[in-house]
């Protein structure tokens, strides 16, 4: 086989690794769909909830640090919180909650084969995420311009660490929803096959959930 054949074989196998395993009985299993659709669907949801549990515990460390240091240094937290832009924070909260709505609508829409609605909702969700990111960019650069950095004091350490880790998850969510959107365009999903959209939506809701807690704890102290 030529170089390109091998390369494309390897690239394809990353996308569909099961094709590399020749099946023993030709039409029994293609290696991908071992299990009946209901089991697969329920399992995917269960698996995603478990993964969300791990995300919760990841942020949990940050919340723990917040709880302890806020109790230790209440004035520092009040000062720091006052310096944050409540308006921008509220706008971001509104945007994120709205994006939760749009992704929930998308999950409902695919179950009614309303593909156009799905596409629209996913686009809006991703755009909302992008606006959130842009807002945070402005917030960060404003702070840096005032000489406030992550190491300035413990409140800002928590602020930057929490919002940065959250931002990372916003980006991951955008990527996941982007991949799903692309597959919607390719016609991969329907009311009989929409698991990915549902579990992608679950992930996005978690991103929103974390922010629902971060917002008052960081921006509205005192």
Q: Does 175 engage in binding with another protein (CB under 8 A)?
A: no
- Residues from 188 through 207 that contact another protein (CB under 8 A): 198, 201-202, 205
**Torsion 106-107-108-111 (CA) sign:** positive
Q: What part of residues 76-95 is at the interface with another protein (CB under 8 A)?
A: 76, 86, 90, 93-94
Helices (H), the chain: 3-15, 37-72, 74-82, 86-110, 115-145, 154-185, 195-219
Of 222, 221, 198, 218, the residue nearest 92 (C-alpha)? 218
Exactly one of 115, 133, 167, 221 binds another protein (CB under 8 A); that residue is 221
CB atoms within 10 A of CB 59: 19
149 near another protein (CB under 8 A) = yes
Place of tokens 């692309």: 182
Binding mask 7-36 for another protein (x = CB under 8 A): --xx--xx--xx-xxxxx---xx-xx-xx-
Closest distance to another protein from the beta carbon of 186 (Å)? 19
> Quick one: which of 64, 134, 175, 179 contacts another protein (CB under 8 A)?
64
């Amino acid at each position: 086989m030529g170089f390109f054949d091998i390369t494309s074989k390897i690239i394809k196998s990353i996308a569909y690794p099961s094709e590399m395993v020749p099946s023993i009985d030709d039409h029994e299993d293609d290696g991908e769909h071992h299990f009946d659709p209901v089991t697969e669907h329920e399992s995917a949801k269960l698996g995603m909830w478990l993964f969300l549990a791990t995300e919760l515990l990841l942020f949990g460390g940050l919340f723990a640090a917040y709880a302890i240091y806020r109790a230790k240094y209440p004035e520092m937290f009040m000062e720091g919180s006052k310096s944050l832009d409540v308006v921008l924070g509220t706008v971001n909260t509104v945007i994120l909650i709205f994006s939760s709505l749009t992704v929930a609508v998308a999950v409902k829409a695919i179950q009614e084969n309303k593909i156009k609605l799905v596409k629209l909702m996913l686009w809006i969700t991703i755009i909302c995420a992008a606006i959130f990111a842009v807002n945070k960019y402005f917030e960060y650069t404003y702070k840096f311009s005032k000489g406030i950095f992550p190491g300035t004091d413990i409140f800002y350490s928590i602020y930057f660490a929490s919002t940065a880790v959250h931002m990372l998850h916003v980006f991951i969510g955008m990527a996941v929803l982007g991949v799903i959107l692309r597959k919607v365009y390719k016609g991969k999903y329907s009311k009989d096959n929409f698991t990915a959209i549902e579990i992608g939506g679950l992930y996005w809701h978690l991103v929103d959930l974390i922010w629902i807690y971060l917002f008052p704890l960081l921006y509205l102290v005192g």
